Amino acid sequence: MSGRLVQIGGISPVVPERPVPESGDMHDGFGRRIEYLRISVTDKCNLRCVYCMPEEGLPWLRREEILSYEEIAHLVGVMAGMGLSRIRITGGEPLVRRDLPSLVRMIRRVPGIDDVALSTNAVLLPELASELRDAGVDRLNVSLDSLRADRVDAISRRPGSADAVFRGLEAAERAGFTPIKVNCVVMRGRNDDEVADFARITRERPWHVRFIEVMPTGENLGVSRDEFVSSDEILAAVGAIGELRPVAGPPGNGPARYFAFDGAPGTVGVITPMSHNYCGTCNRMRLTADGQLRPCLFGDLQTDLRGPLRRGEAIEPLIRQTLRIKPERHWLVQGSDAGSGGLAALSQVGG
């Protein structure tokens, strides 16, 4: 991970801190209740999406740097005692990590955790969907940036992946993961002409299609500068095929705003980190694969939990410390890595 990231161990005089409750449920210094943790289980991936990872990959974490499943479950246990109730497992691509269902079972046994979701590119779902369901995954988000096989292959830069992705979506539905949330990062000239096609599916099937605005990271500055499409433009393209009304959307407490066509079984959502940021209602923190607790997806702040955990030190004070430094909002600028805090790719912190 980038050398620019600030490792917070104890009190750092350079980081603005705000007071937070010293016991009980997790609240940050802006009064936001934190009850959701996104856990990245690996920084590796079997795809190379153009907006995420460079084609040649990134300097991968070493095996000993990565938290074991026991260590992750222990940290979840500590945070569950502080009001954590919901988990999302992500990556990199979480399904490339061996025996992921056993982590799901361990997390499910933690008292207080009542919702376990997973984000995946679906490539390995044909083999794993049923086992993940049996292990206790409640919901799946699947990344799908095009409905056309050649474009899925081109955007993921892994020829042949489209076939596995489409079979993975079917396997997920067969395993009982309905409704499925589909995440689509919209890029000008690559898939923006498919927005209406995605939306049409929500009239036929209980899919919740969420269009995501591309966010700038160190590795995607060209895409984020030249191919950004705003949610207003996306909703205009969807609105051209039928009238949309705002709806509550599926369970999951994410930041998406949802809409639906009359009588449709599915919904259309937009996730708008750039054009309309939703930091004011942020309810989450992130745990990276190497045990860094990040109060914000972006920015250069994180607290090392792995070292203290392996030395047998108390973890709760470090979590309170991270709450004290949780920033009010992100400061992303399209086409610039000024606000991303030295982050090369979302795959490094779990997206």
Binding-site ranges for ligand SF4 (CB under 6 A): 45, 47-49, 52-53, 91-93, 121, 143, 347
Tell the burial category of 203 from Cβ atoms under 10 Å away from its Cβ (0-12, 13-18, 19+): middle
Residue 346 within binding range of ligand SAM, rule CB under 6 A: yes
Tokens 């060209």 — which residue?
222
Count the Cβ atoms, other than its own, within 10 Å of residue 171: 19
Selected from 42, 120, 321, 340, the binder of ligand SAM by CB under 6 A is: 120
In this chain, which of 52, 61, 76, 289 binds ligand SAM, going by CB under 6 A? 52
53 binding partner (options ligand SAM, ligand SF4, none; Cβ < 5 to 8 Å by kind): ligand SF4
Shortest distance, position 120 Cβ to ligand SF4, whole Å: 8
Region of residue 108 (left: phi > 0; alpha: psi -120 to 50; beta: else): alpha
Residue (121 or 340) nearer to ligand SF4, CB: 121
CA distance readout (Å), 212 to 31, 51, 148, 238, 308: 27, 11, 18, 14, 36
**Tokens (6 digits) for 153:** 């292959």
Stretch that binds ligand SAM, among 191-199, 214-222, 258-266, 334-342 (CB under 6 A): 214-222
The answer to whether the Cα torsion of 295, 301, 306, 308 is positive or negative is: negative
Binder of ligand SAM out of 121, 202, 231, 303 (CB under 6 A): 121
Q: What distance in Å separates the CA atoms of residue 210 and residue 231, rounded to the nearest whole number? A: 10
Report the C-alpha gap between 149 and 153 in whole angstroms: 6
35 within 8 A of 84, measured Cβ to Cβ? yes
Residue 342 CB, shortest distance to ligand SAM, in Å, is 15
* String marking each residue 262-301 x if it binds ligand SAM according to CB under 6 A: ----------------------------------------
Instruction: Write the binding mask 71 to 90 for ligand SAM: x where contact by CB under 6 A, - elsewhere.
Output: -------------------x
Which single residue brings its beta carbon nearest to ligand SAM? 351
Instruction: State the DSSP code for 187.
Output: B
Tell me which of ligand SF4, ligand SAM, none is bound by residue 292, counting a contact when its beta carbon lies within the kind-specific cut-off of 5 to 8 angstroms: none
For the CB of residue 347, give the shortest distance to ligand SAM in the complex, in Å: 5
Name the segment binding ligand SAM (CB under 6 A); options: 129-137, 151-159, 208-216, 313-321.
208-216
**DSSP per-residue letters across 94-140:** GGGSTTHHHHHHHHHTSTT--EEEEEE-STTHHHHHHHHHHHT--EE
The first and second tokens of residue 71, run together, are 């260590």
Beta bridge partners of 87: 37, 116
- CA-to-CA distance for 181 and 173, rounded, in angstroms? 11
User: Is 93 among the residues that bind ligand SAM (CB under 6 A)?
Assistant: yes
Sole window of 21-29, 117-125, 303-311, 315-323 interacting with ligand SAM (rule: CB under 6 A)? 117-125
Q: Smallest distance from the beta carbon of 211 to ligand SF4, in angstroms? A: 15
Choose from ligand SF4, ligand SAM, none: what does 327 bind? Cβ within 5-8 Å by kind: none
| Contacted by 35, from ligand SF4, ligand SAM, none: CB < 5 to 8 Å by type | none
Burial class (CB in 10 A: 0-12, 13-18, 19+), 136: middle
Stretch that binds ligand SAM, among 63-71, 154-162, 211-219, 312-320 (CB under 6 A): 211-219
Stretch that binds ligand SAM, among 57-65, 74-82, 162-170, 215-223 (CB under 6 A): 215-223
